[in-house]
Amino acid sequence: MKKELLMASALVSTLGAASVAEAVTASYSGSLKIGQEFDSPESGADTNANINTSNFSISLSETTDGGTTISSSFMLTNEGSGAPDDDNSITLTFSDGSKIDLLNAGNASGSHAISVPGAGGEQGVAGTTSATAPTGIDFTAGATALGVEVHSAADFLMDGLKMSASFSADNGVAATNTAAMEDSWGIGATYVTTAGDTAVTIGAGVASSDYKKANTDTTNDRAGYHVGVSAVTGNLTVGVGYGDGDTIDDSGDTATDANNQASVQVDGSVMKAGISYVSGDITLAVGAVSGEAKDSTTMGTAGTTDDAWDEVNASVTYAVASGVSAVLGYTSVDVQDEGASDTSGGSAWYVGATMSF
């Protein structure tokens, strides 16, 4: 009996040591946002709401003997936008700096969209569900979960250039009364250079996705391009981006869609511009968004009137301590739906604090 206990103890110790040796490296990050938002819609009464959101994410990685790093991540909680986000890819990073994303890889066009400065804070104006004007420059970049994206190493073909390409295939979602994506591809590039004391980043991408509705091809699919540039001189950052193309909008609300169906085709464009400046512990940011679109049925009835989204936003962020910041933000939105002013626009203020780790 004594020998059996010693053997069992040795086995447990061996398995425990093996499990520790084989464990991947884990790190975590997250934030807590607490504040108050004050909404003033164009129609209806003013409202205010307490904002209390948090997120907690874990990143996992390990490097093989051959020098390839295998990594992924998952989110335990994301109270700010609903359920946790588990749609994460497996990334293989090779010794030369090139990478491959497998499953949930996204679209390479979106990977190279320039980040344009804009207001911080949790203020927001919802707008109407039937106005389909885009607000992000990579709105034509789509993908299914069954995808792959290949990233080049730095200085690909020339100094300062990075490129990537992606493809995704049918994920089995039924093309019923709501249009479903069949496949997608995308190509994107980012170029970094300097002009005197200014660091300049240029990003661009093209993307295309095929859709079906009730197993019939839509007349137009999701396809387009974006281009943007960001310039950083000392504490000043200026950015501008533009996107143009077609997409599929699915509100799922047949009663309020412009064409009384769950999915509509959108021919749109959007321009974003912004500036931010850091002065000591204070960051000032101002941004603007101008999007317009015509929506139509997925089987070819073309739209003739414009939807529009015109937004200005601004914020002041003060670094109170390491990982702690106070934010005062403002956003104003004017919405146009089917060529007429929509009273779902308005303005919103936010005052709060963010604690990050």
Question: If we measure between CA atoms, which residue out of 244, 245, 219, 211 comes closest to residue 297?
Answer: 219
What residues contact 77, with CB distance under 8 A and at least 6 apart?
A: 54, 55, 56, 84
Exposed, middle or buried, 312 (CB in 10 Å: 0-12/13-18/19+)?
middle
Evaluate whether 189 touches 203 at the Cβ level (below 8 Å).
Answer: yes
As a whole number of angstroms, the distance between CA 248 and CA 140 comes to 9
In 89-142, alpha helices (H):
108-111
341's tokens: 């002013």
Going along the chain from its start, the domains and CATH numbers come out as 38-356 (2.40.160.10)
Exposed, middle or buried, 105 (CB in 10 Å: 0-12/13-18/19+)?
buried
This prediction's pTM: 0.84
pLDDT in tens, the chain (357 residues): 443 333 334 334 433 433 444 688 999 999 999 999 999 988 878 889 998 888 889 999 999 999 999 999 988 766 655 444 556 789 999 999 999 999 989 999 999 999 999 999 888 887 666 788 899 999 999 999 899 999 999 999 999 999 999 999 987 777 777 778 889 999 999 999 999 999 999 999 999 998 887 777 777 788 999 999 999 999 999 999 999 999 887 654 444 444 444 577 888 999 999 999 999 999 999 999 999 998 876 555 666 778 899 999 999 999 999 999 999 999 999 988 877 777 778 999 999 999 999
